Structure 1
Amino acid sequence: MSSRSSIIFHALSFSTIDVPNLDDVKSDGRAFETDEVKGRYKFYASFENDYCADYLTEKIQHTYSVGVVPILDESKDYSRFLPTNHSSLRLDDLATSKHLAHRILGVDQHDSAYMKYLDYKESTTPFESLLHPMLLEAFDISQGKWGPHGDEARC
């Protein structure tokens, strides 16, 4: 079991946090799309598979697109990629898995605390202005591609 999985499973021992089964099917027999599953939750563990300094997992983008707060691992600085410093839960802000479980449950039980994580959605500022300038420079708007290697991920 990976360390990121063990963090979540250890947090489960302190609370009744629901973990979705992505193998569930809808009443019509079709499988749920990942965003449909994420959209039913307030939080989603968005851990990187590998460490690349300038790579951002698509899991984070997907959580923001469906209005879910990502839970991020502590291995890198995400500040230049996130809408605000208070738009995610960071494992490095929490001392233990028990603290993670208590934070999730506390925020879940208080709508005003949860809505603070989504404040960035109320902004009338264009989304592009929320992105770090280096990220904007790396995206070729006319081509709809990232950097000299297009959509190919490189570390």
Structure 2
Amino acid sequence: MPPKIPQSVLVVIHTPALEVLLIERADAPGFWQSVTGSKDSLDEPFELTAAREVAEETGLDVRVPGHVLTDWALENVYEIYPQWRHRYAEGVTHNTEHLFGLCIPHAVPVLLSPREHSDQVWLPWAQAAERCFSPSNAEAISWLPRLAASLS
């Protein structure tokens, strides 16, 4: 496989009541997160990356009426965890992550990719932020009440 591109998306899937979907990594039990994933090519728009990753990791389709994918116009730059650096080209240590929200009408069970994730849970936003292993993911979830209010 070619090395991963160090440009990715983070998609916080939530309901209007601010319940947040978290999924547990299959390769790191106890590591809960939102949907994440890297671009497939440098010219792939972040919005397409977000839609693809949501479909691959949850089976949800962002194009379904009532599903609203929102570009939060925020980015994080973070150091890639050492245990996952082998997936990137030699010398790559940082990733740029573009943030999105996906609001769906209500919490639903999702279809996980067993290769990537082993469990799912819907939690109120504050509890979801506490459960995330990634500080940038927790921070993004903590922005949800303000972002949701400004987008309404």
TM-score where L is the length of structure 2: 0.27
Higher helix share: 1
Q: Could you state the TM-score of these two structures normalised by the residue count of structure 1?
A: 0.27
Q: Which one has a bigger Cα radius of gyration?
A: 1
**Which structure's relative contact order is higher, taking Cα pairs within 8 Å and 6+ residues apart?**
2
Between structures 1 and 2, the one with greater strand share: 2
